[in-house]
Every structure is written in C-alpha cells, then in structure tokens.
Structure 1
Amino acid sequence: MTATEHAPTDHASTPSPAPGGGRSPEPPRRWRALLLAAVAACAACGIVYELALLTLSTSLNGGGIVATSLIVAGYIAALGAGALAIKPLLAHAAITFIAVEVALGIIGGVSAAALYVAFAFLDAADGSAWVLAVSTALIGGLVGAEVPLLMTLLQRGRVAGATDSGRTLANLNAADYLGALVGGLAWPFVLLPHLGMIRGAAATGMVNLVAAAIVAIFLLRPVVSPHQLLTALCVLLAAFGLLVTLLVRSRDIETTSRQQLYDDPIIAYRHTAYQEIVVTRRGDDLRLYLDGGLQFSTRDEYRYTESLVYPALRDDARSALILGGGDGLAARELLRTPRIDTIVQVELDSAVIELARTTMRTANSGSLDNPRVHVVIDDAMGWLRHAQIPSGGFDAVIVDLPDPDTLVLGRLYSTEFYALAARALAADGLMVVQAGSPFSTPMAFWRTVSTIADAGFSVTPYHVHVPTFGDWGFVLARRGKAAPMPVMPADAPPLRFLNPQVLEAATVFAGDIGPRALEPSTLEHPRIVEDMRTGYR
C-alpha cells in the first residue's frame, strides 16, 4: 500500500477535534505524499548536519575513531531523547513541527560557523569541544522529535488498525531513510566541494526551512488558526533571512576566523576534499600549513630538506621517487644533482601542486615544471600498488609525508606501506623517511623505525635541529643488507647546512631520546596514530 492509499477503516473513522472546535479532516491523498516528501527533505538535512559536524571535527581537531564514535553515539542517543521529550506536545503536532523545524534550521545552519569561530577564538580543547557537544545534542534531539510529530500528522483524523499503522510507519521510515541517503550523497559530492562547510551547512538549513514552509502552507492550514499560520510563516522567513545573511557573510567570517589561527598574514588558502591548505608570509618568511600543521618555513626549511634528500643519494643514483613532498622542495634539491635524470613526484592533492607552481614557486625554484620531474596526482599507497615501476626500480625513494595524526595518514606509516615502497626501490637503492621529532614525539619516531625494519629493511635513524620544528628525525633504510650510514654524495652541490660532520653526529641519540623497541604499526593495528595523539611532551 502506498502513502496515498487508505485502509477501508479510514473512511469510517471519527475525525478528531480541530482547533476552535471544528473537525480535523484527514489530509488529502496528494498532500500525504507531499508530507512524505517533506519527511525525506528533513531527513536529508539532518544527516547533512551530522556529517558537517564530523567533517569539522576531523578538520579542526584531527577527528579519529574516538571522536567520531562519540559524535555518532551522542547523535543517536539525542535522537531517542528528542523522541521522548516531544511526547507531551504531540497534541499540538502541527505548530510544534514548525517550531522544531525553525530551531533545527537555525541551529543546524549556523553550527558549522559556530564551531569554526569557537575553534579560532576560544581554547581549541575546550571551546570548540563544547560547541561540538552542544550542537550534536541539540541537532540530534530536534531530528529525533521529527518522526513522532510527522507520524502524528500522517495519522491525523484517522482511527487506524495495527496493520494500517504499520503501513504508515513503513512509508514514514522509507521516506526518512531515502532522504538520509540523498543527504549522505549530497554532502561529499555537492555541498562540501562547491560550498564548503560553513556555507554548505547554511544552505542545508535553508532547505530545512523551505520544507517546513511548504508543509505549513499546504498541509497545516486546516488545523491551525490563521494567526498561528501567519506567525509561523513570519518566523520561518526571519530564520531564512538569518541564514541568507550567514551565506553572504560566510567568507568574511571564515577569513577572520582563519587569520586568528595564524600569526602571519594568509596569502593563499584552499580547502580541498583532503585537507585545508594555508600559505602565510611575513617578510621573506613563507610558510605552508596543512590542516593547521606547519610543513615548512623558508627561514630554515633548507636544514630539513637537505637532511631528507642527500643521505638517500648514492654516488651512482640516477632516478628518484618522491612520495608526498608536493611543495616541490625535495624535487628542488634533487635537481641540483645533474646525474639525477628521472624524478617521479607522487602527490595526492592537486591543489598543493598548483600552489607549489605559483605561490611557492620562489621557494622551490620552479622544480615541478622541470622536464626531469614527472608529477603524478595519486594516493601514494594506491600508486605503489598499481604503478609500472621502471625496470630495476628507483635508486632513491624519498618519503616526505605529513605526520600520521589521522588514520588516513597512519596507513602511510604502516608495515604494508613500506613493503610496497620496497618493491619500487632498486636492489641497492636507499629509502629515506621523515619520521617526526624524537624529542617531542619519541614513541611515534621509534615506532616508525620499528615499522620500517619490520618491512624487511635495515635501518639507521638520524636527527638534526630545525629551529622551526626543533629536534627532527629521519630514517635511512636499505633492503636486506647492513644498515646504511648517512653520508654525503661525492658530487653534492654546496649546501647551507649539511656536511659530513653534521651527518656523522646526526646518528647519535642522547639518553632521553634513545632507541625504543616497539611493535610495528600495521593497517590492522595503526599504533602510530595513537602515538601521535598521546605522545607529545
């Protein structure tokens, strides 16, 4: 039985009193279909609000399994609480539904902006966490109140048997779940990439309010007084105006809040499907941030880049593979060695490459436009699994990836990932991996060392001082031979920082940051992610 069909008992039912003493007729069949469409629209909005909160939690605070689980569990619990809390108001289902939708549209529509502003201007650990928790509870509670209210509206004027009630509930659930599917697809494929988080949530709130207005105009006129209907429409219009204002001013809000997070003026910004990219400049100091984490400063990046690249170059190396390093700095140093004639650069995010070729071009000397550099836009792990590796493999593999503070990045610091990298490496080639700070994150650093060794490499960790980062470490690795020693290639160009004496000292670790025997990090047990989250000192 469809949403517009009725059981025989419907026509014999006794209508319930309407406001003012009249009778509340059963909604016409075409209007019942419209009400179910409104159910789907509201469900789509509800799932978008939850996905927006999850996305913001990941983007601003790193997300993770614990945070995601708490948000999802809290949202579901709030659904149940909302359903129970609305029971005393079911006798006034029509006007209560409008009130709920107004509140949901406003709270859901401004939730992303509120969380972003709280993260920027308040303590990140407290302010934004409270906004996230309150938003999740309020949105979940309001969404949970929708189903009992809509069920009451669908059953208005009917004395239905158990079977007919089951059919009505089935139709309601079908519309609800179908709407959730639409919302779940709209967020990653339409709203987030084209509008961003703040404007995407605001636009969703506007859809929520429009759906409520349609229900009010076409379905609720028989059961509410003209004064109530006019008041409801005025409130809906005012709420819609608020979200339109937010939509128009979102760029200003976002720019002001974002700048609050950085000491230096922002000169470039991109928000992609993978990360938030920010480039700042103060004087000669250009800095790149990914999801708020500093990647380099032109004041001292040469210390990091030289230490990353040159120890991996044997005197006869002619080819190199760079995994990550989309800023083009590693490629710049490789190009300073004339005998390196083939460089393959694998970077996930095309926006990083675009900024490297424009905003960061001076820093990397235009390396990514050099004919010796072949840029590939792909996931490093996926590329290693499916790429056609040159015969004999690469003489040097340079792994310059962001710190593994999320599960997505954690897979790139796993035994399985390094085993794939081994297949791309020449038999006597060298691999170098940036491994974080042995002082600030010692567990993550030594976990990386253990994980590379578990993939069949002989390893030598080393570390240097980079003022912007502090003590920073790397791992030099070779397949199945004695552990390689970091040495300068014989034909290395004149460098600003690295020399044989620095490299010799770099392999010595003081007692407070000395070696630790740790289990490797794997795809099944991404231990390094937890190391990054809890291991700072």
Structure 2
Amino acid sequence: MEILLLLSVFVIATCGLIYELVAGTLASYLLGDSVTQFSTIIGAYLFSMGIGAYLSRFFRKHLLSWFIQLEILVGLIGGISSALLFLLFEQAASFRIILYLLVGLTGVLVGLELPLLMNILKGRYVFRDLVSRVFTFDYIGALLASIVFPLLLVPYLGLIRTSCCFGMLNVVVAMLLCIKFRQEIKWARYLQIKSVAVILLLTGIFAWANKIMSFSEGLAYRDPVIFSHSSPYQRIVLTRSRTDLRLYLNGNLQFSSRDEYRYHEALVHPVMRYAPGHAHVLILGGGDGMAAREILKYRDVEQVTLVDLDPAMTRLFRENALLTKLNSNSLNSPKLKVINADAFQWLRQNHTRYDIAIVDFPDPGNFAVGKLYTTAFYRQLRHSLYNSSVMVIQATSPLVAPKAFWCVDATLYAAGYHTLPYHTYVPSFGEWGYVMASPEMLVPCRPWLPAGLRYFAPAVFPQMCMFTADMDKRKVQANHLNNQVLVQYFEDEWGKYQE
C-alpha cells in the first residue's frame, strides 16, 4: 500500500505542476505578456493550494475514499482545462475569470490531496520519515514535470493533449487504488465507474484535439486557418483568404501579404542607403525571410546571417510553397545562413562584424522580448558592428504608442548611438515606426536602389522622417535590463488603444 500511495504523491506533484504550466502557457498565447501571466497564475495556484490544505482539516472519515474522489476530480478538471479555455476564449466575455476559476479549483483540489495522503500514511511511518518520503516524491515529480513540459510535451503533444494525458494519469492512479483497496473503500464501485467515464471522456478529447484546436482558431481568426503549430516558443498560425495570407504569433498579427512590402521596404532600404558597406548583413529576428528578400536584391551583398530563436518558424518559411513564393525563397539562398538561437546569448558568443544590422523582433509586449530592446542589448550588438556600420530597429507605432516608440530612440542614444527615427503607413497596422542608428553620424551614401520596389523611393524618405504633433518626441526614460520601462509604456499605450 505504501509504495502505491507514495507513487500517488509523485503523480500529484507531476500532474499539478503540468496543469499550472499549461495554464500559464495558454494564457501567454492568448493574453500575451508571458511574465505577468505565469506570475499571476503561479500565485493564484499556490494560494489555492493553501486554501485546499486548510480545508483538509474538515475531512475526518473515509480518507482513502475522499482521496480517490479528489484524484478523479483533479484528472477531470485538469484534463479538460486547456480544451475548454481554447473554446471559450472568443466566446466568453470574462475569459480571465474562467481561467482563474479553473486554476483556483485545480489548486484547491491538489492542495487537499497531500494533507489527506499524509493522514492516510501517518500510522505507517514515523512522522520524520513520513515527511521526508512525501516531500522527496513531491519534489522529484515537480522536477520531472518542469523538464519534460518544454522539451517534449508542448512540441510533440500540444497543450490540449498534454492536459488530457496527465488527467488520465491522475485517474489511472485513482483506479489502481480502487482495485487494490476495494475492501477498505466506501463507494468503490461508483468510483471505478466514474474513473472509466472520465478516462473515456479524456481519450475522446485527446483524439479530437486537432479538430478542437482548429475549431477554436476558426472562431478567433476572420479567415480560414491553413496552418497552426505550437513550438516551445510560440503559437504559429497562418490564415488565408482569396486575396490575403496572414501570419499570427501568439494571436498577434505579424504580416498581411497585401501590404507587408510597405513594412519591409521601409525597414530595409533606408538603412541600405545610409550604410557605406553592404557585404555582410546581420538580421536579428525576421524568421519569415521578408527582410532577407529585400536585402538580397542588392548585388553587392555577399553574406547574410539571420538569427531567429524558433527553428519551427524558419523551417516553415523555408519549406512552405506559399511562403517561399512570398519571401522569394530567400531563406534557401546560398548567400544566407540561418542560426536558431537566442539573439542576446548569440551576440555574446559572436566575433564577426557586420556592415548592416536589421533588428526585426516582435513588439516589446513582455519582458522576454523587452530585453532585446535594452541598453545592454544594444551595447552588446555594438561589438558586432564597425564604427561605420548602420542598423535599424522596428519600433512599434509612434501614433498608438509614442512613449514606447521614443523610448527605443532614447535607449539607443543612451547606448551611445546616433539615431534617425522615421515612420510609414502600413494599412494592416496603421502608422509604424523605425529607428536607424549608427556609432557615427548618419549620412546617406548611396542614391540608387534596386529595381522593382513597390513603395520606397528616395523622395519619400524626407516625409517619413517628419512627425506630426500627435507622434512627436516625448520625454521618456531609456529601457534598461533592470527596469524594462519600455514594456510598461507599450502595455499602457496599446492597452488604452484596444479598450
């Protein structure tokens, strides 16, 4: 009996942490700002466990029966949670309330289980040995969950199937206990039937996980979803209408094929005019290959190094026929080298210098991305540039988020760069901003541009450098690694815009 019950401790810890990680990951996919979502969900979960531990004092009889009942309930609620949340995201007016109710309920049930189990075992061990054994299995289970979740479960099973698998694991333990101790358990037959029913339900959800996900994403996006994939880093979704192809990362639009050329021409061609040399170009981010497409239009470009965190992203834009047509097969060019790595860490290891750097990261909507807009990052990037090198940073909307935009400019200045901010209009996004920067003064070097551009021209650029009063310079702080003030500016301004 002792071994089976201690195995239950291991399962409780593993499954409990998995449900917590699933909720945090799902919230970061749907609501953004992974640091805030994980922080609040972990806090809510631990608080709920404390409530569960307190409530355990009221369970005095039939402890094993109650423990099995709780295992089944945890398996049911934890197992269906991710499917339910995906389905309700676009339908429920108070999605956050539902999310935290599920997290709280799961936490209360898990918090009840451990004290009940310790009470069941207390007559079989000396108290010192009991605490030692229970917490040893608990911590080992937590370690296992934290390792397998990002490395195996999310990439290979996805969130819905991960929840189902661990829900079934909870219920299987409950079933084994029912069978092993059926003579000692009240309602043994009822609990066995209930266990089978929950396993069948979770098996059905597991089998239909892709269809559930497709249905929920069909509700979230206006056009049909033609591709979706959860990588360890993000949720990648492609939608397609008759005239438009759109990429979404964690629910946020990254480009529309109707007007992405305006964004990417404005990102690349000004910096190519201002840079004295074109031979070696560094792209940080830009895993869709669109910026690389524009760079490769210059014959004097000898080598392009593209550093993007997510191999799933670069693989998709290397292999999908629709996307290789859109990026002119740039990621398969012999001139281009793809490196899948964290840009911050990669720069610390890099000893090559580049004539041009294109910094095309997602918006700084959370601290994980915000670190790539800090003085520390820009100073690190300086070691990969010559004094004459020029770089450009996409810097969100100066109309919607002027403080965030000018914070990027102020951060580059604080890191020792000369800057030239500018903006353009992209219909899918509205007014969009960029900041060009160099260790030396910025002076245009080349009047000519490659043939075939649809938007950018030298005569357009002076207008792009003009800012009306509603976009004009604001007094802001620089973004440092220890304060990440840019993330706060970004959240405040975009939050008000989306209300």
In structure 1, C-alpha distance between the alignment counterparts of 2:302 and 2:472, rounded to whole Å? 38
Contact 1:90–1:149 (Cα < 8 Å) also in 2: no
User: Out of 151, 154, 166, which is 2:118 matched to?
Assistant: 151
In 2: Cα distance, 1:191 partner to 1:355 partner: 20
- Give the conservation status (yes or no) of the 8 Å contact 1:264–1:281: yes
Which has the higher Rg, Structure 1 or Structure 2?
1
Name the residue aligned to 1:107.
77
Shift of 1:315: 5.4
SS at match of 1:519: coil
The answer as to whether partners of 1:460 and 1:485 remain within 8 angstroms in 2 is: no
Partner in structure 2 of residue 229 of structure 1:
188
1:481-520 counterparts in 2 under 5 A?
481-482=440-441, 484=442, 489-520=447-478
Letter in 2 for 1:307: A
Query: What amino acid is the match of 1:381?
Result: F
Q: CA deviation at 1:101?
A: 1.0
Aligned to 1:492, the other structure's residue is in SS state: coil
**Which position in structure 1 is the counterpart of 2:221?**
262
Displacement, 1:165?
Answer: 2.4
Q: 1:316 to 1:73 in 2, by over 3 A?
A: closer
Report the 3-state secondary structure (helix = DSSP H, G, I; strand = E; otherwise coil) of the residue aligned with 1:120: coil
How far apart, CA to CA, are the structure 2 residues paired with 1:362 and 1:423?
Answer: 35
Instruction: Decide whether the 8 Å contact of 2:151 with 2:232 is kept in 1.
Output: no
Q: Give the match for residue 9 of structure 2.
A: 39
Task: From 88, 92, 116, give the equivalent of 2:58.
Answer: 88
The counterpart of 2:211, out of the listed 252, 260, 275, is 252
- CA distance in 2 between counterparts of 1:237 and 1:530 reads 48
**What does 1:56-135 align with in structure 2 at a 5 Å threshold?**
56-123=26-93, 126-127=94-95, 129-135=96-102
- Name the aligned partner's letter for residue 268 of structure 1: F
Match of 2:107 in 1: 140
Deviations 1:412-442 (A, max 9, x none): 1111111122221222121111101001111
Question: Secondary structure, in 3 states, of the residue corresponding to 1:437?
Answer: coil
Does residue 261 of structure 2 align to residue 302 of structure 1? yes
Out of 144, 151, 159, the position equivalent to 1:189 is 151
Question: What CA distance in whole angstroms lies between the structure 1 residues aligned with 2:302 and 2:435?
Answer: 24
**Alignment root-mean-square deviation, CA:** 1.7
**Contact residue 447 and residue 458 of structure 2 kept, 8 A:** no
Rounded to whole Å, the distance in 1 between the matches of 2:437 and 2:242 is 38
Alpha-carbon distance change, 457 to 411 in structure 1, aligned in 2, over 3 angstroms:
same
Matched, 1:362 2:325: yes
Aligned partner of 1:532 in structure 2 is 490
The one-letter code of the counterpart of 2:477 is: E
Equivalences for residues 369-380 of structure 1 within 5 A: 369-380=332-343
Unaligned runs of 5+ in 2: none
Q: Residue 242 of structure 2 aligns with which residue?
A: 283
Is the Cα–Cα contact under 8 Å of residues 486 and 503 in structure 1 kept in the other structure? no
Equivalent residue number for residue 312 of structure 2: 351
Does the residue aligned with 2:460 lie in a helix, a strand or coil? helix
> 1:64–1:406: 8 Å Cα contact kept in structure 2?
yes
Per-residue displacement from partner, 1:112-171 (whole Å, max 9, x unpaired)?
111111213334xx22x1121101110110001112211222135x7x8xxx22322332
Contact 1:285–1:298, Cα closer than 8 Å, also in 2:
yes
- Contact map agreement 2:408 2:478 (CA 8 A) in 1: yes
Q: Is the 8 A contact 1:83 1:148 kept in 2?
A: yes
Question: Residue 198 of structure 1 aligns with which residue?
Answer: 160
Partner of 1:23: none
TM-score when normalising by structure 1: 0.88
Residue 429 (structure 1) aligns with: 389
Conserved 8 A contact 1:54-1:63: no
Asked if 2 retains the 8 angstrom alpha-carbon contact of 1:105 and 1:209, the reply is yes
Q: Which residue of 2 aligns with 1:3?
A: none
What does 1:381-392 correspond to in 2, within 5 Å?
Answer: 381-389=344-352
Letter in 2 for 1:344: T
Q: Which amino acid aligns with 1:46?
A: G
Identity of aligned residues (%): 36
Moved more, 352-361 or 397-406: 352-361
Partner Cα separation in structure 2 for residue 388 and residue 524 of structure 1? 26
How many Å separate the matches in 2 of 1:110 and 1:413?
38
User: What CA deviation, in whole Å up to 9, does each residue of 1:445-468 have, x standing for no partner?
Assistant: 111111111111000100011111
- Residue 154 of structure 2 contacts residue 230 of structure 2 at CA under 8 Å; is this kept in 1? no
In 2, Cα distance between the equivalents of 1:64 and 1:354? 24
Q: Deviations over 1:296-319 (max 9, x none)?
A: 111111111111111111354222
TM-score w.r.t. the length of structure 2 is 0.95
Give the aligned residue type for 1:366: N
CA distance in 2, matches of 1:171, 1:494: 71
Deviations 1:18-55 (A, max 9, x none): xxxxxxxxxxxxx2122111221122111111111111
- How has the CA–CA distance of structure 1 residues 119 and 486 changed in structure 2, closer, same or farther, with 3 Å as cutoff? farther
Distance 1:429 1:182 in 2: 46
Secondary structure, aligned partner of 1:374: strand
1:323 corresponds to: 284
The alpha-carbon distance between structure 1 residues 190 and 103, as it changes in their structure 2 partners (threshold 3 A), is same
Residue segments in structure 1 that go unaligned for 5+ positions in a row: 1-30
Are the equivalent residues in 1 in contact too, given 2:214–2:225 (CA < 8 A)?
Answer: no
Query: How much does 1:94 deviate?
Result: 1.7
Letter in 2 for 1:457: Y
Cα gap change, 1:247/1:322 in structure 2, threshold over 3 Å: closer, same or farther? same
Instruction: Quote the Cα distance in structure 2 between the aligned partners of 1:371 and 1:184.
Output: 39
C-alpha change, 1:486 and 1:232, in structure 2 (3 Å) is farther
Of 341, 355, 370, the match for 1:395? 355
> Structure 1 residue 236: deviation in Å?
0.8
Choose the corresponding residue for 1:472, options 432, 435, 438. 432
Matched position secondary structure for 1:431: strand
**SS of equivalent to 1:432:** strand
Contact 2:25 2:34 in 1 (8 A): no
Q: Which amino acid aligns with 1:87?
A: R
3-state SS in 1 of match to 2:473: coil
The CA distance in 2 between the partners of 1:319 and 1:489, in whole Å, is 20
| Conserved 8 A contact 1:52-1:201 | yes
Tell me which amino acid in the other structure corresponds to 2:327.
N
May I ask how many residue pairs the two structures share in their alignment?
491
Larger CA deviation: 463-472 vs 72-81: 72-81
Secondary structure in 2 matching 1:404: coil
